[in-house]
Chain A
């Protein structure tokens, strides 16, 4: 055997100087990581302006999604709205209708929380069967960021809620400044609970595509409600039943009836590696099976992993204690004997809910629900370590 020239011969980087500190005022990933980008599926929508792209979850680790590759979903494109032009109105059944500018928001007491944001249509293409070959495409309509913002209840109380009377059956209608406006109705109980009016994510200003300068954060609930470029909050006495909560984001069951107000995202998990875009290339021996789990009902408490399509399960370890309504990383440190595997993960949350199989879900809902597909995902891994999206009995 020969000694490795990478070690025995002096390499360029060990001799020449590299880039200086004045090279890039805002750094981006090194060019060798160019696979770790958002991707979109052209045939999904009529136009990329009202469409979605996918987070490269197959290639990420930990729990925080870097903004640059965090998925986007727009209904009329991402707009440029300067902080100077930003206005937030609160009106409706309030004591005083108010208008805030951006500096006002920074003067209220603020909080920091890590939350996942998942599109209700995540994994939606898979209802009819195994379709897209990659965790990025089957599960990539999700991201997880640390938000800094003002609780919505602080702003509502600033406007005064006496005029609304009994708050029990009251609602808050939120809409954005973009052309689609994306208005959604939120029940008052949730609005006063953990909803945040956020202006920073992962320490910096929201990206344009994530609603700069201000977006709504509705922990554990479907991404469509996280209105971007938030411009108005209206206290009403009934749900507005806007286009996004009637014609869309409602779930048609097998008998033709539809479910509405399906807000919360149920517990879900997926193995991000190995997966179709992340084959095993190191051969037999120690293998780390890695993935993500989350629940809109609270904390993930446990994730089990199966290598034989659900016959036997082992409990994985969590990267750290699960945060409520945030992504949790799990690892199964195992050994690969080189034989084919059918990999699955199954999440449990603090309510005791266990992530269902696709068959269990279809039995209740049929195949046309479009939204809220939180089924157990199966990857077939062959002897060469190559993975494929499959369905199993």
Chain B
């Protein structure tokens, strides 16, 4: 055993000596020891080959020359209907934009004005972008639910809203490439190197750079404190001599708060499964673009939903309901759980004429969950 140990020791000594020689060589070579991670020219053998159906599922982008467009067609009339159902609650029936949501039509030749109006018609240089974006990312909150034909129809309608085509126009993969957008020549590639860099790469002035300086404008938004007051810890300076902009800070600022991003949930009924409420809160993400809940909830594109279960239909003051809800309100109809479940499963069937642009919750457990959640956010 002693001789074995002696052998191990001498082997280790030799190894150490070899390593030291290599280290000295590296240090002598003058490298700073922080080499970049050099690839072995694709020799890693990591990852697996993508299957054609996988590529087809994810590679849906459309290039400006039309490559990537699937077969399909849609005309302005169909587009009018699809748009009204799926887009108008945010973009307006005539693509004019509701509240702060984007306006899609109009604004031609305003780009040089004091307040340019940039719309699909007045600004977007390529039609492919419209198709690509609508198909992949719209409606907001329900992306990737439109068929190719629906997308062609919507795009045709957007063009029509911009007076770029007549009402008998049909858009398809066949005539797509012919279409040229109004502002297709309105773009120049970044020319800051020519227009700016050469001018501003000079030794700057250090003294007597100007004869005098005066304040030409003071801050527009000086002191906007949210409702209920927002205390900003600012080294004990008082509110009076501290012009401050304090935006809507989160309801609770303490670091131990574990709110997941939407309003904190007050569980009213002890027998609703808290897990169901939590999963309902997730389902509510499909709704929160248009609906608010919780303390201080405001109407948005849709009415606030505090205390919805048991609430009369169409009853939120100051919300401009569609006719079907106004009628329901007059008839004294109430949101019980059954009505809500039917509505959320198929909104346009249960309340024909509703402005709510949502195709419906397909899963039973989602309906249960969202009901539990809405019950828990009472007023």
Taking a contact as CB atoms under 8 Å apart, the answer to whether B37 and A238 are in contact is: no
Taking a contact as CB atoms under 8 Å apart, the answer to whether A277 and B140 are in contact is: no
Residue of B nearest to A80 (CB): B282
Instruction: Report the stretch among A5-13, A229-237, A318-326, A331-339 that lies at the interface.
Output: A229-237
Taking a contact as CB atoms under 8 Å apart, the answer to whether A258 and B186 are in contact is: yes
Residue of A nearest to B205 (CB): A313
Taking a contact as CB atoms under 8 Å apart, the answer to whether B61 and A234 are in contact is: yes
CB distance from A142 to the nearest CB of B (A): 17
Does residue B191 face the partner (Cβ distance < 8 Å to A)?
yes
CB distance from A9 to the nearest CB of B (A): 22
Instruction: Report the stretch among A46-54, A199-207, A210-218 that lies at the interface.
Output: A46-54
Taking a contact as CB atoms under 8 Å apart, the answer to whether B220 and A157 are in contact is: no
Known interface pairs A76-B137, A241-B128. Does A277 touch B232 (Cβ–Cβ under 8 Å)? yes
Does residue A28 face the partner (Cβ distance < 8 Å to B)?
yes
How many of B's residues come within 8 Å of A, CB to CB?
106
CB distance from A302 to the nearest CB of B (A): 9
CB distance from B283 to the nearest CB of A (A): 14
Instruction: Give Cα A308–Cα B211 distance, bound, in whole angstroms.
Output: 11
Instruction: Give Cα A172–Cα B58 distance, bound, in whole angstroms.
Output: 15
Instruction: Give Cα A31–Cα B257 distance, bound, in whole angstroms.
Output: 11
Does residue B18 face the partner (Cβ distance < 8 Å to A)?
no
- A 58-97 to B, binary, CB cutoff 8 A, 1 in contact else 0: 0000000000000000011110000000000111100011
Residues of B42-58 contacting chain A, CB below 8 A: 42, 44, 46-50, 54-55, 58
Instruction: Give Cα A47–Cα B208 distance, bound, in whole angstroms.
Output: 48
Instruction: Report the stretch among B162-170, B246-254, B336-344 that lies at the interface.
Output: B246-254
Taking a contact as CB atoms under 8 Å apart, the answer to whether A232 and B137 are in contact is: no
Instruction: Give Cα A356–Cα B187 distance, bound, in whole angstroms.
Output: 24
Taking a contact as CB atoms under 8 Å apart, the answer to whether A393 and B214 are in contact is: yes
Taking a contact as CB atoms under 8 Å apart, the answer to whether A252 and B42 are in contact is: no
- On chain A, the residues within 8 Å of B319 by CB distance are none
- On chain B, the residues within 8 Å of A263 by CB distance are 190
Instruction: Give Cα A387–Cα B109 distance, bound, in whole angstroms.
Output: 41
CB distance from B158 to the nearest CB of A (A): 12
- On chain A, the residues within 8 Å of B253 by CB distance are 34, 37
- A 31-55 to B, binary, CB cutoff 8 A, 1 in contact else 0: 1111101011110011101100000
Taking a contact as CB atoms under 8 Å apart, the answer to whether A354 and B129 are in contact is: no
Does residue A286 face the partner (Cβ distance < 8 Å to B)?
no
Taking a contact as CB atoms under 8 Å apart, the answer to whether A241 and B126 are in contact is: yes
- On chain A, the residues within 8 Å of B221 by CB distance are 131-133
Taking a contact as CB atoms under 8 Å apart, the answer to whether A391 and B116 are in contact is: no
- On chain B, the residues within 8 Å of A30 by CB distance are 255
Does residue A118 face the partner (Cβ distance < 8 Å to B)?
no
Residues of B98-128 contacting chain A, CB below 8 A: 99-102, 109, 111-116, 118, 120, 123-126, 128
Known interface pairs A98-B47, A258-B111. Does A304 touch B204 (Cβ–Cβ under 8 Å)? yes
- A 254-285 to B, binary, CB cutoff 8 A, 1 in contact else 0: 11111111110010000000001111010000
Closest 7 CB pairs of A and B: A256-B112, A109-B37, A28-B255, A309-B213, A46-B100, A256-B111, A179-B143
Interface of A toward B, CB cutoff 8 Å: 28-35, 37, 39-42, 45-47, 49-50, 75-78, 89-92, 96-100, 104, 107-111, 129-134, 137, 150-151, 153-154, 157-160, 173, 175, 179-181, 183, 231-232, 234, 236, 238-243, 246-247, 250, 252, 254-263, 266, 276-279, 281, 304, 308-313, 342, 346, 348, 351-354, 356, 360, 364, 367-368, 380, 384-386, 388-393
Q: List 16 A-B contacts (CB under 8 A).
A: A37-B249, A47-B140, A91-B50, A91-B58, A132-B245, A159-B47, A234-B59, A241-B125, A246-B125, A257-B111, A258-B111, A262-B192, A263-B190, A277-B244, A308-B213, A352-B201
